[in-house]
Chains A and B, each alone.
Chain A
Amino acid sequence: MRRVAIVGVGQLPFRSRWPHHRYPELAMLAAKAALDDARLRRQELDAAVYSIYSDLLLRQGGPEAIVHDYLGLNGLPAQRVSAGAASGGYALRAAYAEIASGLADVVLCLGVQKALDVDEPIAGQRSDGALEVESLTLDTTWHLPFSQQPWALLLTAHMARYGAPTESQIAKVAVKNRANAALNPNAQLRRPVTLDEVLGSRLTNWPTTMYESCLYGESAAALVLVAEERVSPAQRPVWIRGIATSHCVSTDFMADDDPGRIWPLHHACRRAYAMAGIADPAADFDVVELNDLVAGLELLSYAEIGLCGLGEGGRLIEDGVTERDGPVPVNPSGGRIGAGHIAGVSGVYSAGEVALQLREEAGERQVRIGRGRGLMTVVGGSGLGLGAALVLDREAA
């Protein structure tokens, strides 16, 4: 297989709504930014992969055809990937495969999603309508009526088994990510919060409070991937050393004494690490971006990505290991809790964040780069059953 590098990063801010731009227009803004960053012209693209989560939120079936046409890319091969909140990771794997296989040399990987055009006149809040549509991603026969939050089941099982993380440790994740978001110009929320504010905010489902829950908004993000033959040093390439996805439902087959495993994250990381030759994740990464759909999920994820053992995630945040100035900074962008979230965009955005960090172009939120390696993971889907992991490196080999 050929080596593949990310050479272009284009990110729009996460906002609660982008009423001045339709989704193809958001796609155009992100695509332009990524191609400008890559110092490439759109005529040099060979293919496109679109990470678009929901047709219903857009009120448009097959939206990728409309985006592709709007970008003036008619004639080029394109495909759309949809995998819940993990969509971006799956799209990146598809884009990587286009190039590694030799089918294409230059690929645009673009995530775009609007969500708050959906309205809910009774509640008077668009978010209620958006969540109703999003719920269709759950198993509509067996999960939908009850559990909007598959991660909540994993979290309570984990806490019952280990007595950890504690509510205070979970709240510290929100404090960390909101503090990081304050330094990110693309973040939807840029006001830091205190531990007391997080613990005192409305309880949504124990132990998760409102400030520990991901944001919900709209955005677009794009990356340009190229084959090694097309890389120039001026592009500040960041190399894809490992990439993997895993479908594995986390909830339905939980054992009676289950510690609340996030199986797709575990499997995707192990595959990506094998591909990249990562032996010690706790020592190998300068930066990690992961899907903090709720704060507790970030702490459970620490074990799944190999930063600690099961039940030890709370200790890591307690010890400051994952703070921006800690040994393994996690979610320097602010993550889903601080920077923002919409399925389809989040994974592409966070892969861009890791690339910018490794290039040392992350501005005020720049972390210290030593080994030159970073990790991006996403999870989502029904029963929290979809996961992806991406290992990026400043060196090609």
Chain B
Amino acid sequence: MTDFLIERPLAADGHRRQAGDGWFEVREEMRIQWSSSYGGISRFFAEIVERSRLLVTRCPDCRRVYCPPRADCPSCWCATQWEPHSGRGRVVAPVYCYWTQINSPVRRYVQPPFVYALVRLDGVENCFHALVEPADVRLNVAVRVGTPVSIRFRPERRGAATDFYFVPDAPDGDGS
């Protein structure tokens, strides 16, 4: 099936070949900046940046609570209402990460090994994908399915999901 292909040997370095080797490449760079509005969930990020305060959204019709917040309830399409939340929740699924690409946004905050997880805030329908930062990052020690966690806000906040992270609650449950 592949006998129609014109085979040319690749150099040992695999790339950066120039004219005369059958191909030629040019370097291009694209710089794009966004100033994205958070629209109907703007208040979530404004409260975090300005007051280190966590808000969730509740549907006035079906009473379901969403965080990550949603301006509209996906279940009944009603406009939701804001309410405060304690920031306590539980780990639904953890990932112990030992490699990520050099330009991963997470590397601003942590280097491998680090732990991220699905975290469900108490009483909430949906989950955050969030960093969990235990004192002990040994595999499956401090962060497991069901581990109670509490939110922490970073000193520097810019209005992004990286402004906060979670820490496992101490055994006495005081969240410290």
Contact = CB atoms under 8 A, between A and B. Distances in A.
Interface in B89-121: 90, 92-106, 116-118, 120
Nearest to A16: B14
A7 to B, nearest CB: 15
Given A120-B103, A145-B161, A19 B129 contact: no
A210 B98 CA distance: 11
14 contacts: A12-B2, A16-B14, A29-B4, A32-B4, A129-B103, A156-B93, A160-B145, A161-B145, A186-B1, A204-B98, A205-B97, A252-B68, A256-B92, A256-B120
Contacts of B95: 147, 149, 152-153, 156, 205-206
Contacts of A111: none
A203 B68 CA distance: 30
Contacts, number: 145
Interface of B: 1-2, 4-6, 8, 10, 14-15, 17, 22-23, 25, 27-28, 30, 38, 68, 90, 92-106, 116-118, 120, 125-131, 139-140, 144-146, 160-162
Nearest to A352: B1
Contact of A156 (B2, B145, B160, B161): B145
B126 A253 contact: yes
Chain B binding site: helix, strand, loop or mixed by DSSP?
loop
A41 interface: no
A147 B161 CA distance: 12
A156 B101 CA distance: 21
By size class, the interface of chain A is 35 or more
B2 A186 contact: yes
Contacts of A255: 92
Nearest to B6: A20
Contacts of A258: 92-93
Contacts of A123: 101-103
A73 interface: no
B103 to A, nearest CB: 5
A50 B116 CA distance: 36
Contacts of B127: 251-254
Interface in A126-157: 126-129, 131-132, 135, 141-149, 152-154, 156-157
A20 B8 contact: yes
Given A17-B14, A142-B128, A128 B102 contact: yes
A10 interface: yes
Given A20-B6, A59-B28, A253-B125, A157 B92 contact: yes
